[in-house]
Structure 1
Amino acid sequence: MSDQIKFIVEKLNKEPFKKNYNLITFDSLEPMQLLQVLNDVLAEIDPKQVVDIREEMPDQTAKRMLSLLGILKYKPPGNATDMSTFRQGLVIGSKPVIHPVLHWLLQRTNELKKRAYLARFLIKLEVPAEFLQDETVADTNKQISLGYHGRSGKGVRSGIRRDQYEELMEGFKTLHKECEQLKTSGFSTAEIRRDISAMEEEKDQLIKRVERLKKRVETVQNHQRMLKIARQLRVEKEREEFLAQQKQEQKNQLFHAVQRLQRVQNQLKSMRHAAADAKPESLMKRLEEEIKFNSYMVSEKFPKELDNKKKEMHFLQKVVSEPAMGHSDLLELEAKINEVNTQINQLIEKKMMRNEPIEGKLSLYRQQASIISRKKEAKAEELQEAKEKLSNLEREVSMKATQTREFDGTEVLKGDEFKRYVSKLRSKSTVFKKKHQIIAEFKAEFGLLQRTEELLKQRHENIQHQLQTVEDKKGISGYSYTQEELERVSALKSEVDEVKGRTLDGMSEMVKKLNSLVAEKKSALAPIIKELRQLRQKCQELTQECEEKKTQYDSCAAGLESNRSKLEQEVRGLREECLQEESRYHYTNCMIKNLEVQLRRATDEMKAYVSSDQQEKRKAIREQYTKNIAEQENLGKKLREKQKTVRESHGPNMKQAKMWRDFEQLMECKKQCFLKQQSQTSIGQRNLLRTFLSCFEETFI
């Protein structure tokens, strides 16, 4: 999110906005100021949006911005797909809604300018059917008028039909495309002139160089023969390059053919492997299982998941659409929840009073059915996960195979191919051992040759030293060195002459090529320049016509828009009245049904109470309550008697408990004393103490 805000601030600080914001000031903008910034960006894209938001109603602002964003094909990101929340956020100037819009607009401003410009002329005026009931609206929809032209005091109406209107829109599209192509295709005349002048200067320079080189070459002997040999050498080199290129292309074709053959062989193997187990019975069973699974997923699981998602979405929409709740609202909701809980408890008690045995039997079957359905859903989910894992593993296997192919140029071998590959490796290993032995022999021979070379160099140095001493004695020192230098210089001279010949031929051919290119460019550009002049004239005429028709179109659209807004307001008011009346009607129906239910209960109670049949009297609510009251009174009497017995035996029981606690303390003290004196007392005293304790316990028990 911080990167998004940084990008927005950076773009707003540049041309043409120049807002001078930083991250803190932009983040601390109020909702109205943020909406004004959004409106400024939209006004840069479409100049019709230049409006001060403080002078405009919020509904009109939201409607205007939403219509332009719809034309620009903006899609709310992520959780903003709910258009009601998006509209609400746009009206109140919410940052989570406006920041993504600004980021999207500032990323592609030039593209959106072009789209907004084209939308003014390419969006059709679709009039709703409910507005076409008016005669004037229907006439204007059938024939879009472009104005009136007066002649001799009489108004003659000139209009175009809708088919002509659509034809003009199509013509505008084609002309706009041609204009864009002319802007992007080819070079401008100034660039072409600059290129031609630069090429002419290079041509003059090359001519001068060629003349200078010709003068130098003419002094060399056999220059014609050397030039001829240089030309033949160049032709052979070009032929060599062409043959090398052909060889490389053929190698690539062979490599692709081998890869294609390997792929086809793998497909053939997989098809044979699949056909080996492909019996009609197994195929039918497999297809039946897949059909059952897919039908279960489509008919049971997916609809349930879809219903749950819809319920969650509906609940969340309700929560979002409701205003912020206070403490009083929470108290009211708690009271309603308590009332509903009491009603539920009453219904449960009634159901328990009925004690219908059929429902008990059905509950067992329902539980079993729910358990089976849950198991079925769990198995379906496990099967779906297993299928996904299988597809992922197959994808990984294909990726690994492609990686091995790219790394090694071969595929993973299986079965017989792997055995053949191992046998090839063994034969190659034997060949490798032989070659390795030959290389070792060559290395040994190379060592001998190196040693002989060193000995020969030493002998050569000795001979050179002796030769120098002989030359010094004879008075011709340096004779051998000068002879070698002369030979080397002559070799260098021959190489330089060859290079000069090659450069002269290359320059002459380059000059010819440049001359031919200049002539071709001039001949190719001449008809294009002529067409460009004609197209410019056409473009000027069409732009004038387009501006005239645009003004007429805007005036007609404004009139239709005003009529449409008035009719929309009337329809909105009538719909609100209709909704209010419907809500009253449903409320009264609900009240009537509640009263009817209460009246039915009262009549049933009266009939049961008045009737002479004892079974019906027992079903009455009064009888049931009296029966429950009698049972509760009997239970209260029993509890009182129990309380009386507990009170009478409370005193002695407490004394007995106190005696047991005192006895427990006494025995604990005896135990502690016995443990302290155990190390000091003798074995006889211990026996006496044990007998004493046993006697004491027996007497107490």
Structure 2
Amino acid sequence: MSDQIKFIVDSLNKEPFRKNYNLITFDSLEPMQLLQVLSDVLAEIDPKQLVDLREEMPEQTAKRMLSLLGILKYKPSGNATDMSTFRQGLVIGSKPVIYPVLHWLLQRTNELKKRAYLARFLIKLEVPSEFLQDETVADTNKQYEELMEAFKTLHKEYEQLKASGFSTAEIRKDISAMEEEKDQLIKRVEHLKKRVETAQNYQWMLKIARQLRVEKEREEYLAQQKQEQKNQLFYAVQRLQRVQNQLKSMRQAAADAKPEIETGFLHVGQAALKLPTSGLMKRLEEEIKFNLYMVTEKFPKELENKKKELHFLQKVVSEPAMGHSDLHELESKINEINTEINQLIEKKMMRNEPIEGKLSLYRQQASIISRKKEAKAEELQEAKEKLASLEREASLKRNQTREFDGTEVLKGDEFKRYVSKLRSKSTVFKKKHQIIAELKAEFGLLQRTEELLKQRHENIQQQLQTMEEKKGISGYSYTQEELERVSALKSEVDEMKGRTLDDMSEMVKKLNSLVSEKKSALASVIKELRQLRQKCQELTQECDEKKSQYDSCAAGLESNRSKLEQEVRRLREECLQEESRYHYTNCMIKNLEVQLRRATDEMKAYISSDQQEKRKAIREQYTKNIAEQENLGKKLREKQKVVRESHGPNMKQAKMWRDLQQLMECKKQCFLKQQSQTSIGQVIQEGGEDRLIL
């Protein structure tokens, strides 16, 4: 119970409750406050439960909490009587009832939140059958059920997407990156369009480029199809070779088959495998012996045992129900029979018959052999069943692999050849990959030198333009370059006109000599670069080793740190527990000291001879109060006696008074009626006199 309360307090002190309780303050909560804590926890699971209990009736509170706990499938321990006590305890805020509920809710808050959310949409409303006869109600109910099923499927898809690992932040990042790439591609396309629009026949060139792209895609598709067909052809040839080898071996075995020679085949799927047995006839004889043993000895015994067991069970079922007395009688009979059997065995052993002793030895050996035989037969049967199941599984696996890639599983020498081919291909791949890496590195160096030269050229051009602007001849270098280019073109054209084959051969020789000189000049640099590359690889390997050592050391230190943190956390928790226990014991000691002081003061006042101090004692005050209450009770009893004695006459007098009051009321009404009649007569008389005067 203490562990349960501790877990509840720790959970309530965390997010999202932040109650700041300790064990003493939580245990000293009043029932109304404890019910409010339970309501707050339920409100965290279902926001509709956020209610102030001071503004709600106790019956409504109990009904609300019980309905939600029923939806959350909370099961209190116990039977029906315990369920009634559970309801009563929930109404009055009993601690033994509310503590387990809080512990259960705080253990699985996230799971219960999900269940409460789904219950809002998946609890089906039960419509009576007489209302479903109406078409509109039936259609609405059907639509409601369809929407519920749609919600189930959508929620399952949502959970699957949530568990798949894709987060909205990552998707948004991918979308933003793709949009940026799209913008860059649009800019590049526009830039290329601007560059191409100046060229002649660019529409025709675009059309040709589009056709070239389509043809390249088609070429890739055809190459892929060609590779697939080559693979299928290779697998088909391999399968044909295997089948031909199997057919050849089977024909040889069928041609040279004899009863004593190995001719057994085990057919698994579509393949035939030779079995390493001494001979087909021997195996058949052993199988026949095994089957005869099973049919003649094992199965009849099992059938007889089953029949006996069935007969015994039928006999037990047909007999009437037995009570405790019948069972005691049967047990006593069984004990008597067992004692008789033991006595008979002792008498037999006392006789010491030698022939029976020898026969008993042989009987024991025969029984042992028969039991071993039965055990081995059962083991053989189990092994056969296991072999059949394994063969079925192997055939299923072969069919699955054949459906997956359309090929069969390689076996034996074929698999070894396939592995050796893969190894040779992997070595070639590694070599090619290394060469590609070296070429990529050289390409990176050349690209970097090209970029540096371009930057230098641009800087020089900018400096030249600034100098031209300062001198007031901006554009001079550009025009000079154009003139030089035009003159160079003119001179080249002139040279091309007057150049002969001998000049061209001389230029080729010069170029070859220049290329060889450059190669010889760069050979030393390339050698140094290779040495530096090897050194770089060695340094990278050493760096990786040091990094792995660092990672292992860091992991060990991290594990030690986590262990120390756990130990410190545990010690802090123990310290807090001891502190709370210390404060609790101090409070209990203070309460006991106050009670002890009051008891000593009472004893002193009771023992002292002074009457005033005795009057101050609690006992004297209680005796005085008891005497006053007894006197008051006597007076009230006397008054009750007087009231009982005068009750009858007083009731008669009250009745007479009511009758008198009724009589006077009647007289008053008669008097008023008479007076009203006289006034009406006077009015009529006065009216007649007026008529006479007129």
Relative to the length of structure 2, the TM-score reads 0.29
Task: Please list every run of 5 or more consecutive structure 2 residues that lacks an aligned counterpart in the other structure.
Answer: 260-278, 683-689
Q: CA deviation at 1:374?
A: 2.0
Residue 256 of structure 2 corresponds to residue 259 of structure 1: no
1-structure distance, mates of 2:598, 2:141: 63
Indicate how the Cα distance of structure 1 residues 545 and 682 shifts in structure 2: closer, same or farther if over 3 A, else same.
same
Listed one character per residue, the Cα deviations across residues 145-178 of structure 1 (whole Å, up to 9, x for unaligned) are xxxxxxxxxxxxxxxxxxxx99999999999999
- Measure, in 1, the Cα distance between the counterparts of 2:541 and 2:423: 85
For structure 1, which segment, 295-304 or 114-123, has the greater mean C-alpha deviation from structure 2 after superposition? 114-123
Distance apart, 1:253 and its partner CA: 3.9
The one of 351, 364, 367 aligned to 2:364:
367
**Deviation per CA, 1:567-611, whole angstroms, max 9, x where unpaired?**
999999999999999999999999999999999999999999999
Take 1:631 and 1:372, find their aligned partners in 2: how far apart are those partners? 102
Q: How much has 1:456 moved relative to structure 2?
A: 2.0
Cα offset, 1:295, TM superposition: 2.4
- Quick check: 1:596 aligned with 2:632? no
205-214 or 233-242, larger mean C-alpha shift: 205-214
Q: Matches of 1:554 and 1:34 in 2, distance apart? A: 51
Q: 1:255 to 1:225 in 2, by over 3 A?
A: same
Q: Distance in 1 between the 2:535 and 2:585 partners?
A: 72
Displacement of 1:305 in angstroms is 3.0
The answer as to whether partners of 2:605 and 2:613 remain within 8 angstroms in 1 is: yes
Shift of 1:287: 1.2
Deviation, 1:411, is 8.8
Q: Tell me whether 615-624 or 475-484 shows the greater mean CA deviation.
A: 615-624
**Contact 1:196–1:518 (8 Å) recurs in 2:** no
Preserved CA contact (<8 Å) 2:608 2:614: yes
Structure-2 change in CA distance of 1:216 and 1:401 (3 Å): closer
Inter-CA distance 316–558: structure 2 relative to 1 (3 Å threshold):
farther
Q: How far 1:105 sits from its partner (Å)? A: 33
Question: Counterpart of 1:130 in 2: which secondary structure?
Answer: helix
How far 1:462 moved relative to its partner? 1.5
Preserved contact between residue 72 and residue 115 of structure 2 (Cα < 8 Å)? yes
Query: Does the 8 Å contact 1:231/1:502 carry over to 2?
Result: no
Q: Kindly tell me: are residues 84 and 140 of structure 1, through their superposed partners in 2, closer, same or farther at Cα, counting changes over 3 Å?
A: farther
| Greater Cα offset, 666-675 or 191-200 | 666-675
Deviations 1:78-113 (A, max 9, x none): 999999999999999999999999999999999999
Aligned-residue Cα RMSD (Å) equals 44.9
**Conservation of the 8 A alpha-carbon contact between 2:235 and 2:407:** no
Q: Pick closer, same or farther for the CA change 1:224–1:465 going to 2, 3 Å.
A: closer
Distance 1:261 1:309, change over 3 A: farther
Between 380-389 and 541-550, report the one with greater CA deviation.
541-550
Shift of 1:499: 44
**Which residue number corresponds to residue 5 of structure 2?**
5
Does the 8 Å contact 1:90/1:98 carry over to 2?
A: yes
Distance 1:512 1:427 in 2: 43
How far apart, in 1, do the equivalents of 2:665 and 2:311 lie?
Answer: 72
Distance change (3 Å), C-alpha of 1:181 and 1:610: closer
Residue 413 of structure 1 aligns to a residue whose secondary structure is: coil
**Matched residues in 2 for 1:656 and 1:271: separation?**
134
Q: Note if contact 1:5-1:23 (Cα within 8 Å) is conserved in structure 2.
A: yes
* CA spacing shift, 1:40–1:494, aligned 2, 3 Å: farther
SS of the residue 2:73 aligns to: coil
2:239–2:408 Cα contact (<8 Å) kept:
no
Matched, 1:606 2:585: no
SS at match of 2:130: coil
Structure 1 position 326, deviation (Å): 1.7
Contact 1:206–1:511 under 8 Å retained in 2:
no
The 10-residue stretch of structure 1 (364-373 or 660-669) with the greater mean CA deviation from structure 2: 660-669
Contact 1:210 1:507 in 2 (8 A): no
Q: Partner of 1:278: helix, strand, or coil?
A: coil
- d(CA) in 2 for partners of 1:468 and 1:290? 105
Compared with structure 1, are the counterparts of its residues 190 and 256 closer, same or farther at alpha carbon in structure 2 (3 Å cutoff)? same
Q: Structure 1's 444 and 45: CA in aligned 2 closer, same or farther, altered over 3 A?
A: closer
C-alpha separation in 2, matches of 1:663 and 1:371: 120
Q: 1:557 to 1:346 in 2, by over 3 A?
A: farther
- Report deviation, 1:246: 4.7
Q: Cα deviation per residue 1:645-687 (whole Å; 9 max; x = unaligned)?
A: 99999999999999999999999999999999999999999xx
CA contact 2:71–2:119 (8 Å) conserved in 1 = yes
In structure 2, the CA distance between the partners of 1:167 and 1:106, relative to structure 1 (3 Å rule), is same
TM-aligned CA deviation for residue 445 of structure 1: 3.4
- State which drifts further: 611-620 or 91-100: 611-620
Q: Higher mean Cα deviation, 331-340 or 581-590?
A: 581-590
Shift of 1:289: 0.8
Q: Residues 379-528 of structure 1: matches in 2 within 5 Å?
A: 379-384=376-381, 387=384, 431=428, 435=432, 438-439=435-436, 442-443=439-440, 445-446=442-443, 448-466=445-463, 468-469=465-466, 472=469
SS of residue in 1 equivalent to 2:655: helix
Deviation track 1:404-455 (CA, whole Å, cap 9, x = no partner) reads: 9999999998776577568757865875686467447535633541343233
**For residues 128 and 549 of structure 1, what CA distance do their matches in structure 2 show?**
76
Q: Within 2, Cα distance between the matches of 1:471 and 1:566?
A: 75
Range that drifts further, 360-369 or 215-224: 215-224
Question: Contact 1:231–1:505 (CA<8 Å) still a contact in 2?
Answer: no
- Alpha carbons 2:131, 2:137 under 8 Å: kept: yes
- Tell me, in whole angstroms, the C-alpha distance in 2 between the residues paired with 1:667 and 1:352: 124
Change (3 A) 1:198 1:297: same
Judging changes above 3 Å, is the alpha-carbon distance between structure 1 residues 225 and 337 closer, same or farther for their aligned structure 2 residues?
A: same
Conserved in 1, the CA contact under 8 Å of 2:40 and 2:50?
yes
Q: Figure out how many residues of one structure are paired with residues of the other and give that number.
A: 668
Whole-Å separation in 2 of the counterparts to 1:469 and 1:124: 85
CA distance in 2, matches of 1:74, 1:570: 35
How far apart in 2 are the matches of 1:491 and 1:659? 153
User: TM-score scaled to structure 1, two decimals?
Assistant: 0.29
- Other structure's SS at 1:199 match: helix
CA distance in 1, matches of 2:377, 2:116: 51
Q: Could you say what secondary structure the match of 2:16 adopts?
A: coil
Alpha-carbon distance, 1:327 to partner: 1.5
Give CA-to-partner distance per residue, 1:240-284, whole Å, 9 cap, x none: 68747854763674476367458747966996999899752x210
Q: Assess if the C-alpha contact under 8 Å between 2:5 and 2:23 holds in 1.
A: yes
Note closer, same or farther for the CA distance 1:6–1:488 as it changes in structure 2 (3 Å cut): farther
CA contact (8 A) 1:71 1:119 kept: yes
SS of residue in 1 equivalent to 2:132: coil
Q: Is the 8 A contact 1:131 1:137 kept in 2?
A: yes
Range that drifts further, 397-406 or 66-75: 66-75
Structure 1 residues 558, 604: CA separation in 2 closer, same or farther (over 3 Å shift)?
A: same
Shift of 1:372: 2.9
Q: Deviation per CA, 1:316-336, whole angstroms, max 9, x where unpaired?
A: 565567665322221332355
Q: Distance in 2 between matches of 1:103 and 1:166?
A: 36
Task: Report the secondary structure of 1:410's partner residue.
Answer: coil
Cα distance in 2 for residues equivalent to 1:365 and 1:601: 94
Superimposed CA distance per residue, residues 526-551 of structure 1 (whole angstroms, 9 cap, x where no aligned partner): 99999999999999999999999999
Question: In 1, distance between residues paired with 2:415 and 2:281?
Answer: 35
Structure 1 residues 19-67: Cα deviation after superposition (integer angstroms, max 9, x where no partner): 9999999999999999999999999999999999999999999999999
Could you say if the C-alpha distance between residues 461 and 367 of structure 1 is closer, same or farther in structure 2, counting changes exceeding 3 Å?
Answer: same
Contact 1:31–1:93, Cα closer than 8 Å, also in 2 = yes
Distance 1:311 1:391, change over 3 A: same
The Cα of 1:367 is off from its aligned counterpart by 4.2
> Aligned with 1:279: secondary structure?
coil
Partner SS state of residue 677, structure 2: coil
Q: Which moved more, 1:193-202 or 1:586-595?
A: 586-595
What is the CA–CA distance in structure 2 between the aligned matches of 1:350 and 1:454, rounded to whole Å? 116
1:149 aligned residue: none
Q: In 1, distance between residues paired with 2:368 and 2:609?
A: 48
Whether contact under 8 Å (2:24, 2:580) holds in the other structure is no
Quickly say closer, same or farther: Cα 1:178–1:97, change in 2 above 3 A. Answer: same
Cα offset, 1:383, TM superposition:
3.5
The alignment partner of 1:681 has SS state of: helix
The 8 Å contact of residues 210 and 504 in structure 1, kept in 2 or not, is answered as: no
Q: Secondary structure at the match of 2:300?
A: helix
Deviation larger for 651-660 or 194-203: 651-660
Q: 1:299 to 1:180 in 2, by over 3 A?
A: farther
Cα gap change, 1:470 to 1:219, in 2 (>3 Å): closer
Report the counterpart of residue 338 of structure 1 in structure 2: 335
Pick which of 545-554 and 191-200 moved more: 545-554
Q: Say which is worse superposed, 198-207 or 584-593, in terms of deviation.
A: 584-593
Distance 1:10 1:204, change over 3 A: same
Give how far 1:285 is off. Answer: 0.7
